[in-house]
Amino acid sequence: MGKYIIKRTFFAFLTLIAVVTITFFLMRSIPGDPLAGMARALPEETKQAFYAKYGLDKPLFEQYLIYMKGLFHGDLGESIRYAGRPVMKTIAETSPISGLYGGIALVLGTLTGVILGIVAALNKNRWPDYIVMFIAILGTTLPVFVLISLAQWVFGVKLGWLPPSGWGELKHMILPIAVSAFGSVATYARYVKASMLDTLDQDYVLTAKAKGLSDFQVITRHVLRNSLMPSVTIFAGSVVGVFTGAFVTERMFAIPGIGFYYISSINNNDYTMVLGTTVFYAVLFIVMQLVLDIVYTLIDPRIRVSGKK
């Protein structure tokens, strides 16, 4: 197992270098420059002075080497768009905020979704199933901005219970969490239901029933454990998503999270910010994949056995 992890870590490192390199050169091949979105077209000398300030006047490959050197020292540079804001600091300050509301939403949403999925599977083609599937379809098809607008209007304007937008107090967190959780509920309910139904048809479930176990025992000991495998896969992806924020949700609720930077930095040609957020995403993603592989071996004996060969 130790050797396996070392090997995986090494490859993860290579992957990261590849991601940074590709992003660096791809980003620079996009037409436009960081000054374009800032203001009026500037006199040539002004542009040159600005580029020199950010080292953009050097040959591209030299810039790449400087960037990589900084990266190995844990320095992601300074944002080009936002004068004086170190990229590292921005990520360190904003990702925990995305992680906080997103994490709570993910946990609540996943638990609710799993329970609803189980309920739906056990009541297949009866009314609880229909209700759950209605929620699930709503949750996956309704665009998030529609859902948010609706929530803001109902709870903020019509009922007046909660502030429609804003950040800083507990009351501001309720709507974003509810809206974000709604998506998870929908996703997990569908997945769990499908895999539950699949598992219920397996021979070993029949065997367990034949042994005379009660329905409760069959479900908790045999069905659930096997049904949750697909959920684990998507859960790992969701965790990465939580720390990288949700652009629309954060924008509409004025949440100072990291989601904003993923989209805007590309539009603004904020090279250092694009690279910084990409590195962050890549690291999270790679680490989660590693964790996922380990978790698989814990919950699925078949993988554990084959892994020991």
Q: Where along the sequence are the contacts to other proteins (CB under 8 A)? A: 30-33, 35-46, 48-54, 78, 81-86, 90, 93-94, 145, 149, 152-153, 156-157, 160, 163-168, 250-257, 260, 267, 269
Nearest to other proteins of 165, 289 (CB atom):
165
Nearest to other proteins of 77, 117 (CB atom):
77
Contact present, 249 and 82 (Cβ < 8 Å): no
Minimum distance from residue 286 beta carbon to other proteins (Å): 27
Nearest to other proteins of 253, 281 (CB atom):
253
Minimum distance from residue 248 beta carbon to other proteins (Å): 8
135: nearest Cα among 95, 88, 187? 187
Can you tell me the distance from the alpha carbon of 251 to that of 260, in angstroms, rounded to the nearest whole number?
7
Nearest to other proteins of 6, 49 (CB atom):
49
- Contacts for 183 with CB less than 8 Å, ≥ 6 apart: 109, 139, 140, 144
Nearest to other proteins of 166, 230 (CB atom):
166
Minimum distance from residue 258 beta carbon to other proteins (Å): 10
Minimum distance from residue 279 beta carbon to other proteins (Å): 20
121: nearest Cα among 223, 206, 212, 235? 223
Q: Longest C-alpha distance within the chain, in Å? A: 85
Residue that the structure tokens 């203001």 belong to: 39
Can you tell me the distance from the alpha carbon of 232 to that of 295, in angstroms, rounded to the nearest whole number?
8
Minimum distance from residue 256 beta carbon to other proteins (Å): 4
Can you tell me the distance from the alpha carbon of 104 to that of 93, in angstroms, rounded to the nearest whole number?
18
CA 50 and chain centroid, separation = 35
Minimum distance from residue 263 beta carbon to other proteins (Å): 10
DSSP state of 213: -
Contact present, 213 and 221 (Cβ < 8 Å): yes
Nearest to other proteins of 155, 296 (CB atom):
155
Minimum distance from residue 244 beta carbon to other proteins (Å): 15
Nearest to other proteins of 133, 154 (CB atom):
154
Nearest to other proteins of 52, 206 (CB atom):
52
DSSP state of 220: I
Contact present, 87 and 79 (Cβ < 8 Å): yes
Say how many CA atoms lie within 13 Å of 297 toward its Cβ. 13
Minimum distance from residue 238 beta carbon to other proteins (Å): 23
